[in-house]
Amino acid sequence: MEAWDKVRIADFAIRQRDVSKDVAHADAEVEVEAASSGSARVSVQYTDGSKPVTLSTLTSLHAGRNIIDLPIEIRQPKLWYPAGYGDQPLYEFTAQVGTAGQVAETRKVKAGLRSIVLDRHLDQWGRSFQLIVNGIPVFAKGADVIPFDSFPNRVTTAGYRRVLESARDANMNMIRHWGGGYYEMDDFYSICDELGIMVWQDFMFGNDWQPGTYDFKLNVEAEADDQVRRLRNHPSIVVWCGNNETEAALGWKGRSELPADVRYQMWQDYLTEFSGILPRVVARLNSETPYWPSSPSSDYEALNDHYQSGDAHIWDVWHGRVPFSTYETHHARFVTEYGFQSFPEIKTIDAFTVPEDRTGIFTPVMLSHQKNDEGNSIIHDYLLKDYSEPKDFASFLYVSQVLQAEGIKIGAEHFRRSRPETMGSIFWQLNDCWPVASWSSIDYYGRWKALQYYARRFYAPVLVSPHVEDGSLKVYIVSDKTKVAPVTLRVRLMDFAGKVLLEDSHSVDVTPLSSKVYLDWPLKKLADAGGADTSSVFVVAELNAGADQISRNLTYLAPTKEVHLKPAVLNVETTGGSGGYKVRIASPVLARSVYLSFGDLDVKVSDNFFNLLPGETVEVTVTSSASFDALKAQMKVISITDAFASNEQPAAISATP
């Protein structure tokens, strides 16, 4: 409840009219509600550099709501950038309204100055779909966000921060806030502002058809008005989107068989709400931020193999049970959903099961923690396409995470290699609202699954991505940098015991904001060097800047199930104490998806689910409040070959406090 007398500030927004590196022009829009007519002084204060600035006007008010605009000009403004492109400074603005020399109310807002353009020009592939932030075409890298808990009152600011910092730490610069949940609290958006995470903000209309009555349309407008006013000062919000999948829903559930006049009226109601009411509200209250009618949508343009427009949801992988390589047949302009499920780790499973529930993935409790009707069977079927049956329940959980991560990696790297044809990769999904098998890369308790570690690599600012195509191994380098990046590219063909069969190393200047091929090896060249047996060799590509490795990527020349890895006997040495430990891991042969687990201990590791080259030693930092002895007792280190019955050799572990 709000009580006030005479006048109050009903709303306060910084309307950014045009922003550049040289100057920012904005209006401080102060909405004053008055009980009766009379004069009032309205002022706005902010700091430009180290200099305080005050804008003030004496105005005549009428009873009711009054809008007072005070023009702002800031030269050489400190601009807000997405993560990876610059800093995220925020200006604080203070508005005051008073009568008879007395201040009646003060209101503060923070705003980041930035220009946002949704670029939709015609090109050789159709119509572009890219966000240009402060003049920079930004490839959007991230994941979809769903409600953080099935019970909203349990969501905390700390919970928001944990997941959003995890997104930032995995080189994400965007999340899409899905329209099937609820609008998040202000803290969520403030943390995105701080971290430089752009937000594609759906209005909360999700997955099915909306009513078309007049009263409902008025309700839609009131909801949008309230939410846009509440959130419009957040620089992180870069797209307002009308709904999730409602546009596509006209073709769902037998609606194509409805009478023509019914379908016509449904479509007219849809257009009124999502291409009428909502964009009108955004244009009135937040015109500097683009509006998009639906996700997915082409803004009603017809699409074909030679003309793509808008954003896309890609679900033939998973729902269609097609191979992961099918991602590479898609050439969407911006991908806002694609995904695959996995199970959380055993510690999360333990939170909702008893031992008899953990005899397999099809027990009643495991099935109840799976809200996709065929989810567990889909995971199982895909797993058997690439691997043998895992030897036990815990191994199945682990392999499911590797499966998910490897699959999404195929899609993410394809979309990044396709720049500028494709300018967004938003996978489904980042977080979870309960402990469950799902598409998330972070489970309900905030624990990173394999996909989150993989994302940190495939979303690296400069990515090396070797890819077999057109009879060659082509090594792409994808750069999100705005300046030339001088690096050393090293590519090796190796066998699993570490013998180098072919090698190339040379310096390259990576073109900014681009995807290009920097090395092309015909497959015949690899066959001549490695022999006809492609199942026992692999290619490793690395980018180094001085002594720092900035990207590494492996690719195989045979399908996953035909790759015959040698059993990896890992040598593990642990040192340290007082909450900080170092784990050094080595293997004489290639060890894929090396996984460190710690039983029921809560730990944070600097890396996990990584590939270990033959003869290489990798050091992982482990942070935990557990004692050295407890950590040593519960630590387990495995690679992918340990998940199957044919390999029973345990890791050789030593520890030094």
pLDDT digits (tens, 9 = 90+) for 460-487: 999 999 999 999 999 999 999 999 999 9
The one-letter code for the residue type at 303 is L
Q: Does residue 297 share a domain with residue 149? A: yes
**465 occurs within a structural domain:** no
What tokens were used for 5?
A: 């007398």
Decide if 37 is inside a domain: yes
421 CB burial (10 A radius; 0-12, 13-18, 19+): middle
How far apart, in whole angstroms, are the C-alpha atoms of residue 643 and residue 595? Answer: 11
How would DSSP label each residue in 318-336? HHT---GGGGGG---SSEE
Can you read off the two tokens belonging to residue 118?
């949704």
Structure tokens at 26: 């904005």
Residue 504 CB neighbours (<10 A): 13
Q: How far is CA 285 from the centre of its chain?
A: 27
Order of strands across the sheet that contains 130-133:
116-119, 130-133, 136-138
Looking at the fold, whether 532 and 581 belong to one and the same domain comes out as no
Integer distance in angstroms from the first to the last C-alpha of the chain?
Answer: 59
DSSP 273: I
Q: What's the CA gap between 214 and 199, in Å, rounded? A: 31
- CA dist 582 and 203 (Å) reads 46
266 shares its domain with 334: yes
Query: What is the number of alpha carbons within 13 Å of residue 644 lying toward its C-beta?
Result: 17
For residues 157 and 184, give the distance between their C-alpha atoms in angstroms, rounded to a whole number: 11
Q: Are residues 312 and 447 in the same domain?
A: yes
> 3-state DSSP call for residue 145?
strand
Give the CATH number of the domain where residue 244 resides. 3.20.20.80
Continuous segment of H or E residues that includes residue 379: helix 375-386
- Prior bond to 429 cis, omega within 30? yes
Cα Rg, the chain, nearest whole Å? 27
Alpha helices in 170-289 (DSSP H): 186-195, 214-231, 260-272, 278-285
Last residue within a domain, chosen from 62, 81, 111: 111
User: Do 639 and 544 share a structural domain?
Assistant: no
What's phi and psi for 478, nearest 5 deg? Answer: -110, 130
The residue behind tokens 């609202």 is 433
Residue 43 CA to residue 532 CA, distance in Å, equals 78
- Cα 196 off chain centre by: 12
Shared-domain flag, residues 433 and 533: no
CA distance to 40, 141, 231, 644, per residue, from 56 (Å): 11, 42, 25, 73
Element (H, E) at 397: helix 393-417
| Single residue among 111, 139, 157 that ends a domain in this structure | 111
H-only helix segments in 514-608: 523-530
Residues 341 and 245 placed together within one structural domain of the fold: yes
Q: Can you give the three-state secondary structure of 341-367, one letter per residue?
A: CECCCHHHHHCCCCHHHHHCCCCHHHH
Dist. CA 494–CA 530, nearest whole Å: 8
Q: What are phi and psi of 655, to 5 degrees?
A: -145, 140
Question: Do residues 347 and 334 touch, judged by C-beta distance below 8 A?
Answer: no
8 Å CB contact between 621 and 582: yes
Distance CA 439, CA 342 (A): 6
> 1 in a domain, yes or no?
no
Which residues of the chain are modeled with pLDDT < 50? 648-650, 652-657
Q: What local confidence, expressed as pLDDT, does residue 580 receive? A: 87
Q: Which of 544, 558, 538 is nearest to 492 (CA)?
A: 538
Instruction: Confirm whether 470 is domain-assigned.
Output: no
Regarding whether 427 and 312 lie in a shared domain, the answer is: yes
Report how far apart, in Å, the C-alpha atoms of 139 and of each of 87, 198, 224, 480 are. 17, 11, 28, 7
Give a yes or no: residue 472 inside a domain: no
The number of domains in the chain is: 4
Are 3 and 23 in contact by the 8 Å Cβ rule? The answer is no
CA 224 – CA 230 distance, rounded (Å):
10
For 542, residues 6+ apart whose C-beta sits below 8 A from its C-beta are 464, 489, 490, 491, 549, 551, 552
69 and 189 co-located in one domain: no
What CATH number is associated with residue 589? 2.60.40.10
Residue-wise pLDDT for 598-628, tens only, equals 999 989 999 999 999 999 999 999 999 999 9
Question: Residue 290: is the preceding peptide bond cis (ω within 30°)?
Answer: no
Strands (E) located in 339-458: 424-427
Q: How far apart are CA 63 and CA 86, in angstroms?
A: 45
pLDDT score recorded for residue 647: 54
196 and 265 share a domain? Answer: yes
Both 263 and 155 in a single domain? yes
Residues 6+ apart with CB under 8 A from 284: none
Question: Among candidates 539, 639, 613, 619, which has minimal Cα distance to 576?
Answer: 619
Last residue of a domain, one of 562, 595, 610: 562
581 and 574 in contact (C-beta within 8 Å)?
A: yes
- Phi/psi region, residue 171 (left: phi>0; alpha: psi -120 to 50; beta: rest), is left
The reply to whether 242 falls in a domain is: yes
DSSP count for the chain of H helices, then E strands: 13, 35
Q: Do 492 and 448 fall into the same domain?
A: no
Query: Residue 512's domain spans which residues?
Result: 483-562
Q: How far apart are CA 612 and CA 651, in angstroms?
A: 14
Q: What is the pLDDT of residue 648?
A: 45
Structure tokens at 127: 């119509």
Residue 466 falls within a domain, yes or no? no
Partners of 577 in beta bridges: 580
In a domain, residue 469? The reply is: no
Tokens read off for 427: 């996978």
